[in-house]
Amino acid sequence: MIVVDTNIIVPLHMTSESTGQVLAVLQKDATWCTPPLWQSEFLNVLTGCMRRKSITLDQARQIMEAALITMDGSEISVSPWLVLELSLAGSCSAYDCEFVALAKELGVKLITLDEQILAQFPGTAITPAAFTRE
């Protein structure tokens, strides 16, 4: 079991330079957990793509549906108190700290591409490449 943040979920459903790394993570460990926040962040990514006209509304709906199916049953709420503690300890947003908090609560790694999270939480956060090399 691992925790993944939105920047790991997105390349699974929208091809990017990170898609290969994300697929390797999925192959190594397919038991993904994430806080419910991922949905709002994912919708924000889709909104940006629609505004840039790189996808249509119908495509965004299809991508979101596929992501919801993939992540069904994987959402776990986190302690808001731990999120506040983690947010105070560094400069990551409370949003980012939700993913870190979940990993800490479960005692597992957070797989992320977010440089700030990786720098501030090196004992918890790890890149997809580093995870697949373990």
Average pLDDT for the chain: 97
Q: 39 falls in which pLDDT band (50, 70, 90)?
A: very high
Q: Structural domains in the chain? A: 2-37+73-133 (3.40.50.1010)
- Cα–Cα distances in Å, from 1 out to 14, 16, 108, 125? 23, 24, 7, 14
The pLDDT of 38-61, averaged and rounded, is: 98
Element counts in the chain: helices (H) and strands (E): 8, 4
Per-residue pLDDT, 45: 98
Q: Look up residue 2 and give its two tokens.
A: 């691992």
Q: What is the pLDDT of residues 51-83, one digit of tens each?
A: 999 999 999 999 999 999 999 999 999 999 999
Per-residue pLDDT, 134: 87
The single-letter code of the amino acid at 32 is W
Q: Is 47 exposed, middle or buried (0-12, 13-18, 19+ CB in 10 A)?
A: exposed
